Chain A
């Protein structure tokens, strides 16, 4: 139990910050939403022109930089990469596309449930289903292959780009887009957002909090470690919502949400499966980016492309629901994910057979 204290603390810190950010101006049930915030950043950079969701969310830069500082301080910063970079980029794009069907990353799904949004309660089984499908492939040997150590500067690209984005949002040059209305215009003060991101980035790096790992480890190993952090997060946010009168149970008129059950289920299923295949939920990918993991940063860049695709082609869901194009994309992405998982697993089996395992008959060898 004692070794669970840090991860539970991390869940509590994330929960408190999520409530604080909503109190300070973030959209409802969106203290943190990694997918939404990355989508807003894509919009802020003009990569899509959905005017209501454009803002260089400082929480994201805070998360990366908080993890960066923590990794440096505890000597865990290590530049590594080169493990199926393009597959990870693709999985990142799919992860985002699934999230923009549901309208939120797994973290926001938990915040939405804790806010009484029953639509997110429909998405949760979808998420777990996606993760479960992913674990079937993991058990069969699915692997994207080992990452290698790389020149330090490669691992610094993510943290430095975050610093650059931070400069842009502070200086607010005319070429950066800021929503004048809609969710993109609802934001906590810059310093509050940044500080919350830094703090959560720090604790998430220390504890390796991951919304996908929580369910994956439960399904694979009956290991409650990461899950206990997510459970703590849920309890704190639920208590906070009740305390501040944000708790509003029901399916209809939920903030930044729609009630199309099937698409909520399938959209979040995509996120679950893609997150297992990529080795982490969007939050975890940001933290790994801060630790110098270039593969995780490639996944994040993929999410930004995914956001641009979804909004530019009109496939992103809105409170009105999922567009026909979005529905077709959900089916296509599900098929593509299964093909990727199958193909990678098939090849990994051959690789594992070849990989040398040394068996010696005596101890201490």
Chain B
């Protein structure tokens, strides 16, 4: 299972969600780390991942967020 990192800082929704979902749907990916810089993007990516049955973990890095999505 591979891990993928996407940097979505500065992008406004739904772009981070679209990119995260694309990554989650790639074959062989077990973990997706998405870096975002707004709470809106953080919440939208988390909600979308949970809806797909993935686990969500959020780490705050200064004023950015690293949202780690894990296939469950």
Contact B10 A147 (CB under 8 A): yes
Interface residues of B in 20-53 (CB under 8 A from A): 21, 30-31, 37-40, 43, 47-48, 51
Contact A223 B51 (CB under 8 A): yes
Please measure, in the bound complex, the distance between the C-alpha atom of A223 and the C-alpha atom of B51, giving whole angstroms.
Answer: 8
A29 adjacent to chain B (CB < 8 Å): no
Q: Are A220 and B14 CB-contacts (below 8 A) given A360-B3, A365-B3?
A: yes
Contact A223 B47 (CB under 8 A): yes
Contact A221 B17 (CB under 8 A): yes
A353 adjacent to chain B (CB < 8 Å): no
Chain A residue at minimum C-beta to C-beta distance from B10 = A146
Chain A residue at minimum C-beta to C-beta distance from B31 = A363
How far does the Cβ of B71 sit from chain A's closest Cβ, in whole Å? 11
Contact B14 A83 (CB under 8 A): no
B48's partner among A78, A138, A216, A221 (CB-CB below 8 A) is: A221
A261 adjacent to chain B (CB < 8 Å): no
Chain A residue numbers with a CB within 8 Å of B2 are 359-361
Chain B residue numbers with a CB within 8 Å of A365 are 3
Number of B residues with CB within 8 Å of any CB on chain A: 28
Q: Are A143 and B15 CB-contacts (below 8 A) given A83-B10, A208-B40?
A: yes
B10's partner among A80, A221, A223, A360 (CB-CB below 8 A) is: A80
Please measure, in the bound complex, the distance between the C-alpha atom of A361 and the C-alpha atom of B65, giving whole angstroms.
Answer: 22
How far does the Cβ of B9 sit from chain A's closest Cβ, in whole Å? 6
Contact A139 B18 (CB under 8 A): yes
Please measure, in the bound complex, the distance between the C-alpha atom of A216 and the C-alpha atom of B44, giving whole angstroms.
Answer: 13
A39 adjacent to chain B (CB < 8 Å): no
Please measure, in the bound complex, the distance between the C-alpha atom of A355 and the C-alpha atom of B15, giving whole angstroms.
Answer: 14
Chain B residue numbers with a CB within 8 Å of A83 are 10, 12
Q: Are A148 and B51 CB-contacts (below 8 A) given A362-B3, A363-B30?
A: no
Chain A residue numbers with a CB within 8 Å of B63 are 78
Contact A143 B11 (CB under 8 A): yes
Contact B11 A146 (CB under 8 A): yes
Please measure, in the bound complex, the distance between the C-alpha atom of A12 and the C-alpha atom of B6, giving whole angstroms.
Answer: 36
Q: Are A223 and B48 CB-contacts (below 8 A) given A216-B14, A363-B30?
A: yes
Chain B residue numbers with a CB within 8 Å of A3 are 47
28 contacts between A and B (CB under 8 A): A78-B37, A78-B38, A80-B10, A83-B10, A83-B12, A138-B15, A139-B18, A143-B11, A143-B15, A145-B10, A147-B12, A148-B10, A208-B40, A208-B43, A213-B13, A216-B14, A220-B14, A220-B17, A221-B21, A223-B47, A225-B47, A357-B4, A357-B5, A357-B6, A359-B5, A360-B3, A362-B3, A363-B30
- Please report A residues at the B interface, Cβ cutoff 8 Å: 3, 76, 78, 80, 83, 138-139, 143, 145-149, 208, 213, 216-217, 220-221, 223, 225, 279-280, 355, 357-363, 365
- Please report B residues at the A interface, Cβ cutoff 8 Å: 1-7, 9-15, 17-18, 21, 30-31, 37-40, 43, 47-48, 51, 63
The 8 nearest A-B residue pairs measured at CB: A146-B10, A358-B5, A147-B10, A279-B12, A360-B3, A146-B11, A359-B4, A208-B40
